[in-house]
Amino acid sequence: MSGASWLPRGEQDFFDLCQKWKNGLNNPANVAAFGWDQAEVTAVLTALIAFLTARVAYKEDNSTKNRLIKDEARVAAEAAMRNFANSAVRFNKLMRDEDRLSYGLYPHDGSHTPDVEPTTLPEAKSDTSIIRQITIHFWDSSSKKRGKPHGIHGAEIRWALLDHVPASVDELTNSDFDTASPFTLKFHEDKRGRRVYFCLRWESNTNLKGPYGEIYSAVIP
């Protein structure tokens, strides 16, 4: 495991991992038990809290300004987590494998089955029965049952508010991640009547990404 490959690419999963890190680092018992340097812990906590706060603000108001703040905070949080993982977690003899797992660091396993890129596509439909909300239900194109294929961690959802039909997925500039259907987008009153375009792709348990499915659209109720 090298670089930041252990960090989730999906934003919701990264948010959840940051919450776990925050809870773990904010526990004085852990700091003492694992021999962590308090100054390093405080620096990582500062970066984590900045991202968590920015993410919540963006979910409440998905303006361009808030998105930039959130994205910059994520880059800083990822760097802080990488550095701390390498200096205080990965090779820390005071920590067991199960301790590292709580921070998203998986032990090497010689019997691990190699992962493969997803080959099937997610299909989706939208539910606009609740005001200011679009709920996206998704399932695998190879199955009539709702759910994700074996070995799949979840789906990346790319979306954007556009006044034209997008020519490609590249125009869907927002990215979220969900491990289980459905996924819900919430909007402010002034966005009602706007059209949201979205598409999905599967992501494996080791962050390998499959092809994007069809681009769908729905009007914010």
DSSP per position, 130-168: STTEEEEEEEETT-SSSS--TTEEEEEEEEEE-SS--SS
11-25 and 64-84 helices, crossing angle to 10°:
50
What pLDDT is stored for residue 115 in this prediction?
62
Amino acid identity, position 186: K
Cis? peptide before 182, omega within 30° of 0? yes
What pLDDT is stored for residue 144 in this prediction?
64
Please state the φ and ψ torsions of residue 186, each to the nearest 5 degrees: -115, 145
What pLDDT is stored for residue 96 in this prediction?
87
What pLDDT is stored for residue 90 in this prediction?
85
Alpha carbon distance 14, 11 (integer Å): 5
Distances 50 to 7, 116, 162 between C-alpha atoms, Å: 17, 34, 29
DSSP, collapsed to helix, strand or coil, labels residue 57 as: helix
What digits encode the pLDDT tens for the residues 118-145? 899 999 999 999 999 999 999 998 876 6
Residue 100 tokens read as: 């590292």
Could you give the domains of the chain?
11-101 (no CATH), 122-219 (2.60.40.10)
Cα of 62 vs its chain's centroid, Å: 16
Nearest partner of 218 among 174, 172, 161, judged by Cα: 161
Cα of 135 vs its chain's centroid, Å: 18
What pLDDT is stored for residue 3 in this prediction?
37
What pLDDT is stored for residue 114 in this prediction?
52
The DSSP code for 69 is H
Please state the φ and ψ torsions of residue 167, each to the nearest 5 degrees: -80, -25
What pLDDT is stored for residue 1 in this prediction?
32
List the chain residues with pLDDT less than 70. Answer: 1-5, 107-115, 144-146
- 35 half-sphere exposure, CB direction, 13 A CA radius: 8
